[in-house]
Amino acid sequence: MTEKHAVGQLRRLLPMAMSYMASGGSLIVASAAQLITFAILARFLGVEEFGLYVAVTAVTAIAIHLCGLGATECLVRRVARDKSIYPIMLGHNIILTVASSVVLVAIGLVVLPYFYPLSPDMAINVGATLLLLLTNIPLVRGILLTEQIFLGHSDFRSANKVVLSFGLARTAAAALACLVFGVNTIAEWVVWQFLCHVIVAAGCVYSLRNLGRPKYGIVGEEIKQGLYFSIPFIIRAVRQNADLLILGLVTAPEIVGSYSVARRILESSYLSVEAMNRLIYPGSARASMNGLHAAMGLVRKVAIAAVSISAATAITVFICAPLLPLLFGHEYVSMVDFVRILCWVVVPMAMWAIAVEALGAAGHHAVRATVMGGGSLVGAALTAWATWYAPPTGTFISFYVIEFMMVGISWAVLLRLARSSRSQSQEPVVDAPVEQGKGA
């Protein structure tokens, strides 16, 4: 390799490296802020209230994937290819987000106050539940939509600002509520949480003012694609929360709390890979316009980088795990062991995530939904059974079995579709016969 070629290659890679560091840095800082928020609430709410908060949050985590019916994906994919379509896609997103939010909040308001009462007083219980639902469904979806809009425009700096501001705002709200005003119940905390999200959402609306006004209407062909995109995440959310629900029934509150922290650490560890995916997705969508096979070179490079990054992250978490009691409290005696067991799961998670993101960027949402949805359905059943049969050891074993199963299935499907795409691109094009009298 000549010096000139090496310099040229370095110049091409440097902008992507800088974007990744900025994207990864914003997600990591936001994740650290979220972890601090989690720690503050764990300390001040206490074991019983904190366990209830985790359970309710798990339910709304499923609802957030239903909100909008997966419309944000088509916004990123189509705006990345043609920015002039942004007003139409924005209007499509707003309509679906508002309509689905109304239905989800109404259902939640009927169900949650009875299964997860936030206060013995019925009026406070219903009011607190309403605020929690409004916060965790439409407001969170609107903030996430803002991030996706900037990603669709390849404005990664603004997308990073949204993520960073959101994370820091929630930490500031928790610190102010608990440390300054002594909030120690969920019913009190949800008021602070709601006001925080309203302020962040208002800032998001203001930040989008120069991108254009929405044109309201439903883009019919994207409804099915959006459902294909969102359903796997809904099923995955069910799978990810099955363990918490079963553990809550068969183990002590300390086990549930320690496991919840370990899960939160795992989710935070995955952000190092998510930072790469959010940068690569628009480029993969453009690269795959001529067929999935055209993007496979990029996908393989990203996969190697993702495995390296996730392995380095797992090692770091394993080494730093003994410091966590200083943050969350020493009453969570199982936390360090749980974190060290789960931290390595991020490596297979990164491996299969790259494959399914490539399928999504290429528009293979039905296949992607089948892979993720099927894996999550099997995973939910396996996790529930293993957790019930041998908690928490069975839970940990099921985690690794499911993630490596997903690696094998997702890459097998991706490579098969890439081969099919390559074969189709190499087929000779036969000109249609010209009808007499209509020739050029």
Q: What is the pLDDT of residues 306-339, one digit of tens each?
A: 899 899 999 999 999 998 888 887 777 888 999 9
Please check the confidence at residue 45 and state whether its pLDDT lies above 50: yes
d(CA 16, CA 156): 11
DSSP SS3 for 429: coil
Alpha helices, DSSP H, located in 153-219: 156-174, 186-207
> Between the ranges 25-34, 375-384, 428-437, where is the mean pLDDT highest?
375-384
d(CA 107, CA 127): 14
For range 4-21, the mean pLDDT: 50
pLDDT value of position 436? 40
In the chain, the N- to C-terminal Cα span, in Å, equals: 50
For range 138-154, the mean pLDDT: 91
pLDDT value of position 26? 59
d(CA 93, CA 15): 31
Q: Which among 416, 13, 51, 1 has a CA at the least distance from the CA of 249? A: 51
On whether the CB atoms of residues 47 and 253 are closer than 8 A, the answer is yes
Please check the confidence at residue 214 and state whether its pLDDT lies above 70: yes
- Please, what is the average pLDDT of the chain? 83
- Residue of 412 and 370 predicted with greater confidence: 412
d(CA 159, CA 148): 7
Angle between the N-to-C axes of helices 140-152 and 71-81, in degrees from 0 to 180, rounded to the nearest 10: 20
pLDDT value of position 124? 93
d(CA 324, CA 332): 10
On whether the CB atoms of residues 266 and 277 are closer than 8 A, the answer is no
Backbone phi and psi for residue 410, each to the nearest 5 degrees, phi listed first: -65, -40
> Considering the entire predicted model, what is its pTM?
0.70
Please check the confidence at residue 190 and state whether its pLDDT lies above 60: yes
How do residues 354-374 score in pLDDT, each as one tens digit?
998 888 878 787 888 788 878
Q: Which among 253, 234, 278, 277 has a CA at the least distance from the CA of 376? A: 234
**Residue given tokens 């993630």 in the structure block:** 403
226-256 residues labelled b (16+ CB within 10 A) or e (exposed): bbbbbbbbbbbbbbbbbbbebbbeebeeebb
pLDDT band at 11 (very low <50, low <70, confident <90, very high): low
Residue 133, Cα to own-chain centre: how many angstroms? 18
Alpha helices, DSSP H, located in 251-392: 253-269, 271-287, 296-320, 324-328, 335-342, 346-361, 365-389
Please check the confidence at residue 278 and state whether its pLDDT lies above 80: no
pLDDT value of position 24? 53
Distances (CA, A) of 159 to 153, 168, 391: 10, 14, 40
DSSP codes of every residue in 320-360: HGGGHHHHH-TT-TTHHHHHHHHGGGHHHHHHHHHHHHHHH
